[in-house]
Amino acid sequence: MDKSKKRESVVSRTQAIIAVIPLGDSDSGLLQVVADSLQGVLRLPVDLKSAIPLPEESYMASRGQYNAMAIIKRLAEIYADGYLKVIGVTTYDLANPILTYVFGEAYMNGVSAVMSSFRLWAGTGNQTVSREHFLERAVKVAIHEIGHTFNIPHCHTDRCVMRSSHNLIELDHKLNYMCGYCELFLAEALTKALKEHPTDLKRQETA
């Protein structure tokens, strides 16, 4: 066997168990990139669902933003019985009661996460970044937040995608994949989750 070939995965499936949920107005290209990237990282089938409205109760009128915590609570209520993990994707600005804005939010070891593309276009001054740069940022946020749903904490390894990022400079510094330590965390979490999930989905490794 050719050892130079990268390890691939073959997944037997009856249905996807990871879902990407557009929230409100959507960018179809962004959604597809997020879905494809998560499928590549998790090596599990990912559904791209139809758009649903942002929960009305999540809007914070005094700040003109949406409460990320309220959104992930609602996503968990809607999709907990149908999918192992879900991530909502919105173009609207997110925050939580503590932080003035967030790129994304997730329940640690929970069902749901949410991410926003609202701030990911910003470049220097009034300039915007290229679409490629924008999509790279979005992929990092998506992987980071879905990682939290598998109980992976913030990492201290330089440039690991699970390292916390409080601004775009820190986000750009990160790579779009996990360090070896976080990969081990993810592999263990996936193995446990797939054993517990009520489907016959299996994550199989082949050389």
Active centre residues (catalytic): 145
177-194 as b/e, with b when 16 or more CB fall inside 10 Å? bbbeebeebbeebbeebb
- The whole-angstrom separation of Cα 101 and Cα 200 is 39
* Strand ranges for the chain from DSSP E: 8-12, 18-23, 46-48, 59-60, 65-67, 85-90, 94-95, 104-106, 112-116, 202-206
Taking 3-state DSSP, the helix, strand and coil percentages for the chain, each rounded to the nearest 5, stand at 35, 20, 45
Beta carbons of 110 and 71 less than 8 angstroms apart: no
Between CA 30 and CA 21 the distance in angstroms is 12
Is residue 32 within 8 A of residue 48, CB to CB? The reply is yes
Cα–Cα distance for residue pair 160/182, rounded to 1 Å: 8
For residue 37, how many C-alpha atoms fall within 13 Å in the half-sphere facing its CB?
25
